[in-house]
Amino acid sequence: MSEYENNDAENLFALGKFEEALSAWEREEKVSLHGFLQCYQKGIALLKLERFEEAASALEAAMELDPGNADARRTYAWVCCHLDRNTEAVASCDKSLAIDPGNARTWIVRGFALHHLGQYEKAVESYARAIECNPLGAEGRRAWNNRGAALDNLGRHDEAIDSYDEALLIDPFDIYAWNNKGVALGILGQHEEAIVCFSKAIQIEPEYATAWKNLAVACQSLHRLDEAEEAFRRAGELGL
């Protein structure tokens, strides 16, 4: 493949045209060896297209070509999470963090994998490290929210609520933090406050089915049965 065609593939990738970029790379692979960047970008494109097994293969090739690339190891870990290969994901994150220990995103992926392994204390610790690296912005919001979810699984609901509040300070329009806070409040029997949270999530995203269902349960707990019935109906219409 000519240099022009290779650049075309990279341009398509940059534009988010992942199917077209993959086709261009496949044509190139028939006539020339492929390098780290092509394997890495191909892995990302396949991840975006939810072709996770193929993404893992492409990223394995990338890591073989450049074992010291922390981003490739983190991306591979995220693919492993999608494949429910969470132990492998943690191991890949650890290798990435040995290279780049201050990367908040890698600590978040590690926490996610630990969470799905049921290792909630370790997940909380991993999210805390992410927050140390970047307490604000999208990564900070995600780390605070995920930390809250892990704390909920440990039965530490008051701490979880504080964590969701931190996420909402960063992004008041985070529907997941509003919903999660509502769930924690409901577990603590604070159903009126929970209804406020679920209603806020629905106000931001009216088609958020989970929030409608949780709103119904909270209303039911307060014997507000007409409101509960309506909320259950909306959740059903949205697929729950």
CATH of the domain at 74: 1.25.40.10
Rounded to an integer, the average pLDDT of 5-23 is: 66
Whether residue 23 is predicted with pLDDT greater than 80 in this model: the reply is no
Rounded to an integer, the average pLDDT of 68-80 is: 97
Please state the φ and ψ torsions of residue 96, each to the nearest 5 degrees. -65, -40
Domain for residue 2, yes or no? yes
Angle in degrees, CA 218, 154, 142, rounded to 5: 75
Domain for residue 78, yes or no? yes
Domain for residue 101, yes or no? no
**Residue 7 pLDDT:** 55
Q: Is the pTM of this model over 0.75?
A: yes
**Residue 31 pLDDT:** 38
Q: What total of structural domains would you count in the chain?
A: 2
Distance CA 154, CA 18 (A): 40
198 vs 33: which has the higher pLDDT:
198
Whether residue 139 is predicted with pLDDT greater than 70 in this model: the reply is yes
Rounded to an integer, the average pLDDT of 129-135 is: 95
Domain for residue 100, yes or no? no
**Maximum alpha-carbon separation in the chain:** 70
Rounded to an integer, the average pLDDT of 117-133 is: 97
**Please, which pLDDT band fits residue 25 given cuts at 50, 70 and 90?**
low
**Residue 6 pLDDT:** 47
**Residue 138 pLDDT:** 92
**Please, which pLDDT band fits residue 19 given cuts at 50, 70 and 90?**
confident
Whether residue 190 is predicted with pLDDT greater than 90 in this model: the reply is yes
Rounded to an integer, the average pLDDT of 177-204 is: 98
Residue where a domain stops, chosen among 85, 117, 135: 85
Domain for residue 172, yes or no? no
Domain span at residue 71 reads 1-85
Distance CA 19, CA 238 (A): 30
Domain for residue 60, yes or no? yes
Domain for residue 42, yes or no? yes
Minimal CA–CA distance to 55: which of 68, 39, 66? Answer: 39
Rounded to an integer, the average pLDDT of 198-224 is: 97
**Please, which pLDDT band fits residue 35 given cuts at 50, 70 and 90?**
confident
Residue where a domain stops, chosen among 65, 85, 105: 85
Residue where a domain stops, chosen among 85, 119, 138: 85
Distance CA 198, CA 152 (A): 17
In this prediction, what percent of the chain has a pLDDT beyond 70?
89
Whether residue 28 is predicted with pLDDT greater than 90 in this model: the reply is no
Domain for residue 64, yes or no? yes
Whether residue 15 is predicted with pLDDT greater than 80 in this model: the reply is no
**Please, which pLDDT band fits residue 4 given cuts at 50, 70 and 90?**
very low
